[in-house]
Amino acid sequence: MQGPRRDADRNRQHILETARTLVDSGAGIGLNAVARAADVGVATVYRHFAVVEELEEALVWGRFDELKAVLENTGPSQLEGALRAHFVLLVEDPLFEKVTARAEPVLAETRERREALITALGALVASAKKGSAIREDVDAQAVLLLLCGIAHSVRSSRLPASDPRSEALLRVAFDGLRLPAA
Protein backbone atom coordinates (compact mmCIF):
# COMPACT_ATOMS: atom_id res chain seq x y z
CA MET A 1 0.00 0.00 0.00
CA GLN A 2 3.03 2.30 0.42
CA GLY A 3 3.97 2.22 -3.30
CA PRO A 4 1.05 4.14 -4.78
CA ARG A 5 1.11 6.71 -1.98
CA ARG A 6 4.78 7.52 -2.54
CA ASP A 7 4.12 7.66 -6.27
CA ALA A 8 1.21 10.06 -5.73
CA ASP A 9 3.40 12.23 -3.49
CA ARG A 10 6.13 12.28 -6.14
CA ASN A 11 3.59 13.22 -8.82
CA ARG A 12 2.20 16.03 -6.67
CA GLN A 13 5.69 17.36 -5.98
CA HIS A 14 6.60 17.16 -9.67
CA ILE A 15 3.41 19.02 -10.60
CA LEU A 16 4.16 21.73 -8.03
CA GLU A 17 7.77 22.11 -9.22
CA THR A 18 6.66 22.30 -12.84
CA ALA A 19 3.95 24.85 -12.04
CA ARG A 20 6.45 26.97 -10.07
CA THR A 21 8.82 26.90 -13.04
CA LEU A 22 5.99 28.05 -15.31
CA VAL A 23 5.03 30.85 -12.91
CA ASP A 24 8.65 31.97 -12.55
CA SER A 25 8.99 32.13 -16.33
CA GLY A 26 5.89 34.31 -16.58
CA ALA A 27 3.72 31.62 -18.17
CA GLY A 28 0.18 30.90 -17.07
CA ILE A 29 -0.58 27.83 -15.04
CA GLY A 30 -3.79 26.37 -16.34
CA LEU A 31 -4.13 22.79 -15.18
CA ASN A 32 -3.88 21.41 -18.73
CA ALA A 33 -0.75 23.47 -19.41
CA VAL A 34 0.83 22.21 -16.20
CA ALA A 35 0.00 18.61 -17.15
CA ARG A 36 1.66 19.06 -20.56
CA ALA A 37 4.74 20.73 -19.07
CA ALA A 38 5.03 18.08 -16.33
CA ASP A 39 4.52 15.32 -18.88
CA VAL A 40 1.73 13.75 -16.86
CA GLY A 41 -1.87 13.06 -17.71
CA VAL A 42 -4.42 15.78 -17.14
CA ALA A 43 -6.31 13.43 -14.81
CA THR A 44 -3.20 13.17 -12.64
CA VAL A 45 -3.13 16.93 -12.16
CA TYR A 46 -6.89 17.06 -11.51
CA ARG A 47 -6.56 14.31 -8.87
CA HIS A 48 -4.31 16.64 -6.89
CA PHE A 49 -5.87 20.00 -7.77
CA ALA A 50 -9.56 20.24 -8.69
CA VAL A 51 -9.23 23.87 -9.81
CA VAL A 52 -6.29 26.11 -10.70
CA GLU A 53 -6.84 28.18 -7.55
CA GLU A 54 -5.93 25.14 -5.44
CA LEU A 55 -2.67 24.78 -7.33
CA GLU A 56 -1.93 28.50 -7.00
CA GLU A 57 -2.50 28.38 -3.27
CA ALA A 58 -0.37 25.28 -2.75
CA LEU A 59 2.46 26.98 -4.65
CA VAL A 60 2.63 29.85 -2.15
CA TRP A 61 2.18 28.03 1.16
CA GLY A 62 5.90 28.33 1.77
CA ARG A 63 5.64 32.12 1.40
CA PHE A 64 3.10 32.26 4.22
CA ASP A 65 5.36 30.12 6.40
CA GLU A 66 8.42 32.19 5.52
CA LEU A 67 6.74 35.45 6.49
CA LYS A 68 5.26 33.99 9.66
CA ALA A 69 8.75 32.93 10.75
CA VAL A 70 10.10 36.42 10.00
CA LEU A 71 7.31 38.02 12.03
CA GLU A 72 7.69 35.64 14.96
CA ASN A 73 11.43 36.30 15.14
CA THR A 74 11.11 40.07 14.92
CA GLY A 75 10.92 42.54 17.77
CA PRO A 76 8.89 45.77 17.69
CA SER A 77 11.99 47.80 16.85
CA GLN A 78 12.42 45.67 13.69
CA LEU A 79 8.84 46.06 12.45
CA GLU A 80 9.89 47.97 9.34
CA GLY A 81 12.33 45.23 8.34
CA ALA A 82 9.64 42.57 8.67
CA LEU A 83 7.15 44.64 6.68
CA ARG A 84 9.79 45.29 4.02
CA ALA A 85 10.36 41.53 3.67
CA HIS A 86 6.62 41.07 3.19
CA PHE A 87 6.51 43.89 0.64
CA VAL A 88 9.39 42.39 -1.35
CA LEU A 89 7.65 39.01 -1.52
CA LEU A 90 4.42 40.63 -2.68
CA VAL A 91 6.23 42.59 -5.40
CA GLU A 92 8.54 39.81 -6.56
CA ASP A 93 6.05 36.93 -6.47
CA PRO A 94 2.90 37.91 -8.39
CA LEU A 95 1.28 34.60 -7.52
CA PHE A 96 1.72 35.26 -3.80
CA GLU A 97 0.14 38.67 -4.28
CA LYS A 98 -2.74 37.10 -6.24
CA VAL A 99 -3.42 34.50 -3.56
CA THR A 100 -3.19 36.97 -0.68
CA ALA A 101 -5.57 39.32 -2.48
CA ARG A 102 -8.33 36.69 -2.59
CA ALA A 103 -11.27 37.54 -0.38
CA GLU A 104 -11.51 33.90 0.61
CA PRO A 105 -8.96 31.14 0.04
CA VAL A 106 -10.13 27.99 -1.73
CA LEU A 107 -8.23 25.59 0.53
CA ALA A 108 -8.56 25.27 4.29
CA GLU A 109 -4.78 24.91 4.51
CA THR A 110 -4.33 28.31 2.87
CA ARG A 111 -6.87 29.85 5.23
CA GLU A 112 -4.98 28.44 8.22
CA ARG A 113 -1.63 29.70 6.97
CA ARG A 114 -3.04 33.15 6.21
CA GLU A 115 -4.65 33.35 9.64
CA ALA A 116 -1.38 32.28 11.28
CA LEU A 117 0.43 35.02 9.38
CA ILE A 118 -2.15 37.63 10.41
CA THR A 119 -1.95 36.44 14.02
CA ALA A 120 1.85 36.77 14.00
CA LEU A 121 1.60 40.24 12.46
CA GLY A 122 -1.09 41.17 15.00
CA ALA A 123 1.21 40.19 17.85
CA LEU A 124 4.06 42.25 16.40
CA VAL A 125 1.80 45.26 15.82
CA ALA A 126 0.44 45.00 19.39
CA SER A 127 3.98 44.84 20.72
CA ALA A 128 4.99 47.87 18.65
CA LYS A 129 1.99 49.79 20.01
CA LYS A 130 3.06 49.04 23.59
CA GLY A 131 6.45 50.49 22.79
CA SER A 132 4.78 53.54 21.24
CA ALA A 133 6.39 52.70 17.90
CA ILE A 134 3.19 52.86 15.85
CA ARG A 135 -0.21 54.52 15.92
CA GLU A 136 -2.98 53.10 18.06
CA ASP A 137 -5.58 53.38 15.29
CA VAL A 138 -4.03 50.74 13.02
CA ASP A 139 -4.22 46.99 13.36
CA ALA A 140 -2.69 44.04 11.53
CA GLN A 141 -5.41 44.06 8.86
CA ALA A 142 -4.81 47.76 8.13
CA VAL A 143 -1.06 47.18 7.87
CA LEU A 144 -1.66 44.29 5.45
CA LEU A 145 -4.04 46.35 3.32
CA LEU A 146 -1.50 49.15 3.16
CA LEU A 147 1.36 46.82 2.19
CA CYS A 148 -0.71 44.94 -0.37
CA GLY A 149 -1.92 48.18 -1.94
CA ILE A 150 1.56 49.60 -2.28
CA ALA A 151 2.98 46.32 -3.56
CA HIS A 152 0.20 46.03 -6.15
CA SER A 153 0.86 49.60 -7.33
CA VAL A 154 4.59 48.96 -7.57
CA ARG A 155 4.11 45.69 -9.48
CA SER A 156 1.54 47.28 -11.80
CA SER A 157 4.10 49.99 -12.57
CA ARG A 158 6.66 47.26 -13.31
CA LEU A 159 9.04 48.63 -10.72
CA PRO A 160 11.33 46.34 -8.75
CA ALA A 161 10.97 46.41 -4.98
CA SER A 162 14.44 47.97 -4.75
CA ASP A 163 13.64 50.90 -7.06
CA PRO A 164 14.01 54.28 -5.30
CA ARG A 165 10.37 55.09 -6.16
CA SER A 166 9.24 51.85 -4.51
CA GLU A 167 11.39 52.64 -1.50
CA ALA A 168 9.87 56.13 -1.31
CA LEU A 169 6.33 54.74 -1.25
CA LEU A 170 7.28 52.27 1.44
CA ARG A 171 8.94 55.05 3.46
CA VAL A 172 5.75 57.16 3.25
CA ALA A 173 3.76 54.19 4.59
CA PHE A 174 6.23 53.59 7.42
CA ASP A 175 6.20 57.27 8.33
CA GLY A 176 2.41 57.20 8.36
CA LEU A 177 2.36 54.22 10.74
CA ARG A 178 4.43 56.08 13.32
CA LEU A 179 2.81 58.05 16.10
CA PRO A 180 2.25 61.68 15.13
CA ALA A 181 4.77 64.06 16.67
CA ALA A 182 3.48 65.67 19.88
Domain with 19 in it: 1-50
**118-152 pLDDT, tens digit each:** 899 999 899 888 877 788 898 988 998 899 999 99
Question: What's the pLDDT score for residue 1?
Answer: 46
Residue 60: per-residue pLDDT: 95
Residue range 21-74, pLDDT digits in tens: 999 898 888 999 999 999 999 999 999 999 999 999 999 999 999 998 888 888
* Whether 99 contacts 55, CB under 8 Å: no
Angle at CA 151, nearest 5°, toward 80 and 67?
50
If asked whether residues 91 and 45 sit together in one domain, one would say: no
Is residue 3 scored above 60 in pLDDT? no
Total domains present in the chain: 2
Residue 11 clears pLDDT 50, i.e. is over it = yes
pLDDT in tens, 59-81: 999 999 999 888 888 887 888 88
The CATH number covering residue 36 comes to 1.10.10
**Could you tell me if 22 and 80 lie in one domain?**
no
Domain contains 21: yes
pLDDT given for residue 182 in this prediction: 56
Same domain for 39 and 72, yes or no, is: no
Counting DSSP H helices and E strands in the chain, the numbers are: 9, 0
45 with 134, same domain: the answer is no
- Note whether 117 and 67 are within 8 A (CB): yes
Shared domain for 13 and 101, answered yes or no, is no
> Long-range contacts of range 34-40, CB-CB < 8 Å, 24 or more positions apart?
38/14, 40/11, 40/14, 40/15
Q: Counting Cβ atoms within 10 Å, is residue 103 exposed (0-12), middle (13-18) or buried (19+)?
A: exposed
Please indicate, yes or no, whether residues 41 and 73 belong to a single structural domain of this protein. no
Q: Are residues 33 and 108 in the same domain?
A: no
Q: Is residue 182 one of the residues assigned to a domain? A: no
Q: Which of helix, strand or coil describes residue 158?
A: coil
Length of the chain: 182
Same domain as 62, residue 44: no
Given 29, 50, 71, which residue is the final one in a domain?
Answer: 50
Q: Average pLDDT of 156-169?
A: 94
Whether residue 87 is found in the same domain as residue 165: yes
- pLDDT by residue (tens digit) across 91-123? 999 899 889 888 899 999 999 999 998 899 999
If asked whether residues 134 and 170 sit together in one domain, one would say yes
Q: Is residue 113 part of a domain?
A: yes
- Looking at the fold, whether 39 and 59 belong to one and the same domain comes out as no
Asked whether residue 105 falls in the same domain as residue 45, the answer is no
Domain CATH for 92: 1.10.357.10
pLDDT band for position 2 (50/70/90)? Answer: low
Give yes or no for a contact between 56 and 45, defined as CB atoms under 8 angstroms apart.
Answer: no
SS (H, E, C) 22-37: HHHCCCCCCHHHHHHH
Distance, CA of 45 to CA of 34 (rounded, Å): 8
In a domain, 156, yes or no: yes
